[in-house]
Amino acid sequence: MQATGKFVIESMDLDNAGNASSTIKKMLTEAGVSKSIIKRVSIAIYEAEINVVIHSYGGTCTYYIDDEKIRVVFEDTGPGIEDIEQALEPGFSTANNQAITYGFGAGMGLMNIKNASDEFDITSSHLGTTLDIKIYFN
Amino acid sequence: MTINKIVEVIRGKELTPPIKPANFELKYAFSGDLMSDALMVLREAPEGFCEAGILITGNVTMQSIRTAEMLDFAAILITRGKVPTKQVLDQAYNSGIIVLGTNDVSFTVCGKLYSAGIKGLSDL
């Protein structure tokens, strides 16, 4: 299987957050990828999508699928994560009330993405954050 | 436990049109209003837990449906008499997720379902 595509993610658009993860989940299901792998991919992409929605000025999600893995790159336009190590600590959150109303902002998202991924790389400055994750199918 | 039996136990109703056959059995449940909690705790739940499971929540937003979808929950049970919007119900139906509703608070409905035989993650 070879597929690539890009989604635009709008800031604070909590009603539409999840479109990228839902679409990719359906693609992997149709391709016959195992359910446990699909669950990890779905959770990682969904949490990352939510992070772009609730913490950034907006961004994109680009995916690359081949026979052995999926790579997903999230890029946003700021304001960036001040301290990545702190953001990875369970319970640390800077989410606002609207995000909390929708059930997020518990401070576990980034750690959950890391734990669900086989490879996890994140860089951030005030100009934006780039999250690059890979999950292997076998 | 069939959907009809669950509706009877919780004195609630099915808010989506029938999705599964009448004899479809729900066996497990997880309760919470924090979707990130559900996503973290259930990431490595035993296979089949969510597929025969109910997500019990007072969170009536689109993201409770999305969370149920990512985790492969068969059903979501909205507590405290909250009414999901048509957009939320349509999203659930299109994702194959049964939406149930009850006026009970989450604590009460969890007790009723547990007493009736629905199991939680700690029981497995």
Given a contact cutoff of 8 angstroms between Cβ atoms, the answer to whether A56 and A77 are in contact is yes
What are the structure tokens assigned to A133, written together? 């994750």
The per-residue pLDDT for range A26-57, each reduced to its tens digit, is 999 999 999 999 999 999 999 999 999 999 99
* B90 has a chain A CB within 8 A of its CB: no
* Span B36-62, pLDDT tens digits: 999 999 998 999 999 999 999 999 999
Residues of A with CB under 8 A from a CB of B: 14-18, 21-22, 25, 35-36, 39-40, 42-43, 46-47, 50, 101-109, 111-112, 115-116
Q: How many whole angstroms separate alpha carbon B20 and alpha carbon B8?
A: 17
CB contact under 8 A, B66 and A46: yes
Which residue in chain A has the smallest CA separation from B70?
A: A42
Is the distance from CB of A112 to CB of B36 less than 8 angstroms?
yes
β-pairing, B28-31 with B53-57? Answer: parallel
What DSSP state is assigned to residue A21?
H
Give the residue extent of every domain in chain B. Answer: 3-123
CATH number at B3-123: 3.40.1390.20
| Secondary structure E strands in chain A | 3-9, 59-65, 69-76, 119-125, 128-136
Q: Who contacts A5 (Cβ-Cβ below 8 Å, separation ≥6)?
A: A62, A63
Distances from the Cα of A47 to the Cα of A69, A115, B43, angstroms: 19, 12, 12
CB < 8 Å to A50, chain B: 36, 63
How are strands ordered across the β-sheet holding B98-101?
B13-14, B98-101, B75-78, B53-57, B28-31
CA distance A101 to chain B (A): 8
CA distance B73 to A42: 13
Whole-angstrom distance, CA of residue B91 vs CA of residue B94: 5
As assigned by CATH, the class of the A3-136 domain is: alpha beta
Mean pLDDT of chain B: 96
Rg, chain B, Cα only: 13
As for the ipTM of the complex, it is: 0.91
- Choose the weakest-confidence range: A32-36, A100-104, B11-15: A100-104
- Of A93, A88, A60, the closest CA to residue A74 belongs to A60
CA-to-CA separations, A20 to A63, A78, A108, A109, in angstroms, rounded:
9, 20, 20, 17
Size of interface A-B (CB pairs under 8 A): 84
pLDDT greater than 90 at residue A24: yes
Q: Is B69 on the interface with A (CB under 8 A)?
A: yes
Q: Which chain A residue is nearest to residue B51, measuring alpha carbons?
A: A35
Chain A partners within 8 Å of B39 (Cβ): 43, 46-47, 108, 112
Report yes or no: B35 at the A interface, CB cutoff 8 Å: yes
A105 pLDDT above the threshold of 90: no
Q: Which residues of A119-138 are buried (b: 16+ CB within 10 A; e: fewer)?
A: ebebebeeebbebbbbbebe
pLDDT of amino acid A123: 97
